[in-house]
Amino acid sequence: RDGQLDTLVLQSELSGLRLLDIPAMQVVQARLQHLEQVRLTLQGQRDGTDWLWRGQVQDQSRSPPSLDVYAEWSQQPDGNWQGHLRGLQLADLSDLLEGFWSRPEYQVWLARLQPAGRLADLDIAWREQHQQLTLTAAIQDLHTQPWQDIPGLQGVDARLQLSGDSAQLELTGTQVEIDWPLMREAIALQRLAGQLLWHRAVSGWTLRTRDLQLDTQDFTLRLNGSVEVPDQNPADPEFNLRLDFEQVDSARVAAYLPAARMNPKLIAWLDHALGPGQIPQGQLVLRGRISDFPFEHNEGELEARFQVATMRLNYFPGWPAIDNLSAAVVFRNQGFEVLADSGTLGGVGLQQ
């Protein structure tokens, strides 16, 4: 039109493909180089002084294709740009974010946690004047690797909203596994639902959770609180968390304690002592750094309080068990206390 190019359409089948210098498409460049046959469709449409680009990259060497990415991208003269992508893997997004986030601590987190999953949709924008990235993404089958004292996840669906140095993550899942190195076994969740938020603080990150609900076959749990992650040592966060739990089988309590940081003799005693019983409800509070646990000098606090009913307590090897125990139980750091209301010992009723 008027001697100017308004529309550009390109369709081709290529191998060893290298893309144009388009940010929304560069994130798949490394994967393209290893595909035997790639179909590329690229369309550009002029809108005044701006160009709107639409493109699709598809692996033709396999059925179903190992790569099928659709992208829209537009850029303004002031350096602002925005894009929409479908079909990416979360690992591709990690590569893109690493390019924009130059801080070493971000790159360490991405490298260690190795987030993976499928991006159903991704909207991304860059504001040149503020040097700010905004992003919204729907993530399916999110999984991360455990790293030092940080748990890994498998089987989570999430919606991520990121703007500058703050973000919000909505989590859902029905078959979720949490792998926390401090525990002796992974936690299998029948349901996960809740919200995580994080923002940049002066010397690190602050993560918060609001009514994060976790249901297993052994309990129902609601988690609230915050975690401070320092830049200097991100693997040693400081916790301020409260967990409210319901409908717990007392015989399974020891399986959910951070055994890797507890006295082995105490763990062995708990494994033997806590028999079947009902815990209608209770509360656990964790304050302090994991590296200081078990808080032998009160550097922090790990306290669990709950009431048990109809529990069997094998108090000491060789001694008769206490049956039908009703008691208030308190775990605090390395200590353990049972305040019994009633029970039976050798068929004889016990009262406080």
Q: What is the pLDDT of residues 15-39, one digit of tens each?
A: 555 555 554 445 455 555 555 666 7
| pLDDT tens digits along 280-328 | 989 999 999 878 877 888 889 888 898 888 888 888 887 888 888 888 8
What six digits make up the tokens of 53?
């680009």
pLDDT score of 205 more than 90: no
Where does residue 137 rank: exposed (0-12), middle (13-18), buried (19+ CB within 10 A)?
buried
52 inside domain:
yes
338 inside domain:
no
pLDDT score of 84 more than 80: yes
| pLDDT-derived band at 92, boundaries 50, 70, 90 | low
Looking at residue 43, what is its pLDDT?
A: 76
23 inside domain:
yes
Number of neighbouring beta carbons within 10 Å of residue 347? 7
Among 139-153, 158-172, 332-346, the minimum mean pLDDT is found in: 332-346
Q: Over the range 151-172, which residues count as b (16 or more CB within 10 Å of their CB) and which as e? A: bbbbbbbbbbebeeeebbbebe
314 inside domain:
no
Looking at residue 18, what is its pLDDT?
A: 54
How would DSSP label each residue in 260-300?
Answer: GGS-HHHHHHHHHHB-S-EEEEEEEEEEEEGGGTT-TTSSS
| pLDDT-derived band at 215, boundaries 50, 70, 90 | very high
Domain that holds residue 9: 1-85
User: pTM value?
Assistant: 0.71
12 inside domain:
yes
Among 30-44, 136-150, 179-193, the minimum mean pLDDT is found in: 30-44
Report, in angstroms and rounded to the nearest whole number, the Rg of the chain calculated over CA atoms. 27
Residue, of 94 and 55, whose pLDDT is higher: 55
169 inside domain:
no
| pLDDT tens digits along 100-135 | 555 566 667 777 888 888 888 888 888 888 888 888
303 inside domain:
no
20 inside domain:
yes
| pLDDT tens digits along 140-163 | 998 888 887 778 889 999 998 988
| pLDDT-derived band at 195, boundaries 50, 70, 90 | very high
> How many structural domains comprise the chain?
1
